[in-house]
Chains A and B, each alone.
Chain A
Amino acid sequence: MPAYAAKRFAVALLVLFVVSVLTFTFTNVAVDPAIAIAGEGATDAQIERLRREYGFDRPLYVQYGEWLSGTLAGDFGTSIRQRRPVLTMLAEKFPVTATVGGLALILAFVVAVPLGMVAALRPNSWIDRFALGFAVVGMAMPTFWFGLVLIIVFGVTLHWLPVSGTGTAAHFVMPSIALSYYSIPIIMRLTRAGMIDVMASDYIRTARAKGLLPRTVLFKHALRNAVIPVVAVAAVQFGHLLAGSVVVESVFALHGIGYMAWEALHAADLPVIQAVVVVLAGFYILLVFLSDLLNAFLDPRIRIA
């Protein structure tokens, strides 16, 4: 196990390194940071001076090295537009994104796992068809549009929930619902498929033959095993939800890191953009690493192969 973990960790670090190089290079090639800092109407001489002042005239790999050593020390640079440390801005906004993403994940599980289970126990019944239809609709519904529909129905027509902002807990209800529907189809389908496999397995037949209560068979034997692949996917889905929250954040005017990145893009605020991309990627890599470990822990065959 330790050898397996060490290997996965090394790969994770390497991936993160490549992602950071890609992000840094691409953004610096596409935008001249000196022009972005100088803003509209700056003369060539001013831009040239800024370029030398900030060290943008040095080779890219030197700048990358400097950025990397700063980042490793927890310093993501200073926002061009807001002139504040990017780390402070991240620390301010990340809780909002994590709250929406976390709530969406919990909601997706609460809806999708029981639905997938029931659908698997009664294949081709009306509940199975309903679950399938629910998933098919969820996959075709654009998240941002679903969010707008929620706003019209529950915010404007029924006045049940606030339409935008982050003031109270009620503000997080609609964004989390909108975002969760993105993950529900995949989690539901996985649970259903896993459950059907497990219910057809020998050990369930044995458990039934022993005369165990159907309830015991279902919860102690079947569900535990069916849920393993789903739990592993949860980590990956959480990463997707955090990354995808830029869409709901803009629909509901939630000031999370997605919204911050979106604003930064309009101002070509490179340090902020780089930090958000690398932090989200790093988070995703960490989650995948943890889910790999969990999988290996639950299923010894993986860590030997």
Chain B
Amino acid sequence: MADPGFPPDTLGLVPMPSRRAVLSRRVFSHVGLLIGAGLIAVIVIMAIFAPVLAPYDPYAQDLSNRRIPPVWHAWINDHHKASWAHPFGTDRIGRDYLSRIIYGARISLLIGTLAMLISGTLGTALGVAAGYFGGRIDMFVNFLVTTRLSLPLILVCLVIVTLFGGSITTIILALGFLIWDRFAIVMRSVTLQIRNLDYVTVARANGCSSAYIIFREILPNVANALIVVATIEMAVAILLEAVLSFLGLGVKPPLPSWGLMIAEAKTDMFFDAWLIGIPGIALFVLILAINLVGDGLRDVTAPERRA
């Protein structure tokens, strides 16, 4: 007889690992996901505890300490002004750069999260409706998506924010009502896939209302795909805010938006490259972290669909 591969006394008694256990093992063995989640945790803590963590008031100007280079200039080229007093240096009007970076995380996360929630709600509603009901509703949603995609995104954002005033609220609303397209497209195709599965058919045969089926049968089963799109769109929103602020039509000074900090440092960048380097790296790390989490979640929840 062939060796069954396990001791005969446990035959049939080896418990299958639970779904939760499988998922948590996959999560904790995915390096990218862990790194991304760790970085996001650091940035979120930075944003929440900004008043405690920031060494200075991010708006306080100190004209006698302008454009002090970051602390590593003291080590590399022995700059006499660089010191731990201002680890990231100061900007052209003497504001502490580290404090501004810490407070800037608040703006990026606030705009990214709220814009993502608005666009997610809008796009999911449209996509699920299109996928579930099909027919004319599907055609209408398709038309909306095509129309939205044909609008030049950055330019339309610029137009809206300029014409309606560049407050944080306007930026959030403009982005929220513009970047729902991917939500709609993905939610539509996922809904189409599960609409005709047995459990939905059973619910329909049992006389459940469309609302019940959508909220209790469809939505819980598209949640994984939804979270992955949400991470992408949050990154898109954060990048767009930075672009708007960089072009001088987004967040208004003296708010410490990272994009705005890069714009303010543009005139000095030939002499002090770190002035655009630091906020740029902050932006890069945040977007990278969000993308790593998104890619990781896709791998973990749907490994068969890895691209």
Interface on A for B, CB 8 Å cutoff? 11, 14-16, 18-19, 22, 26-27, 30-31, 136-137, 139-145, 148-149, 151-152, 156, 189, 192-193, 242-244, 246-247, 250, 258, 261-262, 265-266, 268, 273, 276-277, 280-281, 284-285, 288
Contact = CB atoms under 8 A, between A and B. Distances in A.
Nearest to A153: B273
Contacts of A262: 158, 247
B163 A15 contact: no
A24 B156 CA distance: 12
Contact of A145 (B153, B156, B159, B262): B262
Given A142-B242, A145-B284, A244 B154 contact: yes
Contacts of B164: 30
B150 A16 contact: yes
A250 B307 CA distance: 35
B210 interface: no
B150 A281 contact: yes
Contacts of A244: 153-154
30 contacts: A15-B147, A15-B150, A30-B164, A31-B163, A137-B288, A139-B291, A140-B291, A141-B287, A142-B243, A142-B246, A142-B280, A145-B276, A149-B276, A149-B277, A151-B269, A189-B307, A192-B307, A246-B154, A247-B246, A250-B247, A258-B155, A261-B158, A262-B247, A266-B162, A277-B151, A277-B155, A277-B156, A277-B159, A281-B152, A284-B149
Contact of A288 (B150, B287, B295): B150
Given A30-B163, A142-B243, 19 more contacts: A11-B146, A15-B147, A16-B150, A30-B160, A136-B295, A139-B291, A140-B235, A140-B287, A142-B239, A145-B283, A148-B266, A148-B269, A152-B273, A152-B276, A244-B154, A250-B247, A261-B158, A280-B155, A288-B149
Interface size class on chain B is: 35 or more
Contacts of B146: 11, 15, 288
Contacts of B262: 144-145, 148
A273 B287 CA distance: 30
Contacts of B143: 11, 14-15
Given A140-B288, A276-B155, A265 B249 contact: yes
A10 B159 CA distance: 28
B190 to A, nearest CB: 18
Contact of B270 (A27, A137, A156): A156
B270 A136 contact: no
Nearest to B283: A142
A243 B163 contact: no
B292 interface: yes
Contacts of B155: 243, 246, 258, 261, 276-277, 280
B149 to A, nearest CB: 8
Contacts of B160: 26, 30
A210 to B, nearest CB: 30
A148 B259 CA distance: 12
Contacts of A250: 247
Contacts of B147: 15, 18-19, 22
Nearest to A273: B159
A243 B163 CA distance: 19
Contacts of A149: 276-277, 280
A140 B151 CA distance: 23
Contacts of B153: 243-244
Interface in B231-284: 235, 239, 242-243, 246-247, 249, 259, 262, 266, 269-270, 273, 276-277, 280, 283-284
Nearest to A192: B307
B137 to A, nearest CB: 16
A140 B239 CA distance: 9
B292 A136 contact: yes
A284 B152 contact: yes
A134 B149 CA distance: 26
Most buried by B among A139, A140, A277: A140
A23 B81 CA distance: 52
Contacts of A145: 262, 276, 280, 283-284
Nearest to A29: B163
